[in-house]
Amino acid sequence: MYRYFGFGSNNLPSTMKALRQIDVRPDCVTAAILPNYQLKFYNDAAFVRPTTTTTTTTTTTTNENEKENKSNDSSVVHGVLYTLTDDEFAKVGQTEGVPFGYRWQSVLVYQYKGDGKQAGKDCLSLSSSLSSSNNINNNYTNNNSNNNTDTLVSSSAVKAYTLVETRLRKETPPSPQYLGLIQEGARLWKFDSTYQEQLASIKTKGNGISGILLQVAEKATGTKRTYMIDGYDEDD
């Protein structure tokens, strides 16, 4: 079995089913956050690139927290953690162009249940706190005074594989259609609000066919856009 962290159009499990022909299982998919990386684009190809910024939080003054939080928010990538069979993992690599356009990179991610506010950041804060207490492998309990028990899944880091560039590329803006798929996944999974704001601020260029291709594939396979979205509420 493999853990795969998707962050581009694979934020939508319907992409995995309709385009990559992988049946996602309900207990094998969840929102997750990758610290110390940033989301980058080369046209309509998304990739993550490591940063030198450490993603931690402090409990000092309000102004200091605001400054640090702003820095931290730009040094994380939100995405979806999939648990895949060997064959499914190989299929992702084949359809994503590994090893030509991408290569696999081992990373540590943290699972969480989105609330559209800051559940991902809270998960990292808890992990940092437990790490300093030598309790990094403890799962979250109901001792949090902010009543976040429904948003945090685990404070333990999970080893996963994600896609990074095979060579350093000059960044180029994505099309609005491709970025729109990422934003839609972020909204449905209820990624942190600051991350959704960052996505909304990304400049786009030209036109793309990513959205059309997914729509055609969804129609052909009878796949709904909200397929396997954790906690999705049609009344939202």
Angle 33-35-40 (CA atoms, 0-180°, nearest 5)? 90
**Residue 100 annotated as lining a ligand binding site:** no
Q: Environment class of residue 131 by beta-carbon count within 10 Å: exposed (0-12), middle (13-18) or buried (19+)?
A: middle
Query: What is the residue-wise DSSP string for 173-220?
Result: PPPHHHHHHHHHHHHHHT--HHHHHHHHT----S--SHHHHHHHHHHH
**Ligand-binding site membership of 4 (annotated):** yes
Query: Binding residue per annotation — 6?
Result: yes
Q: Which of 96, 165, 197, 218 is catalytic?
A: 96
234 counts as catalytic: no
Minimal CA–CA distance to 107: which of 155, 38, 31, 163? 163
Question: The tokens of 135 are what?
Answer: 């309790």
Residue 126 in tokens: 């808890």
5 labelled binding-site residue: yes
Question: Is residue 41 marked as binding?
Answer: no
Q: Per the annotation, where are the binding residues?
A: 4-9
Q: Per the annotation, where are the binding residues for substrate?
A: 4-9
- The residues that are catalytic are 96
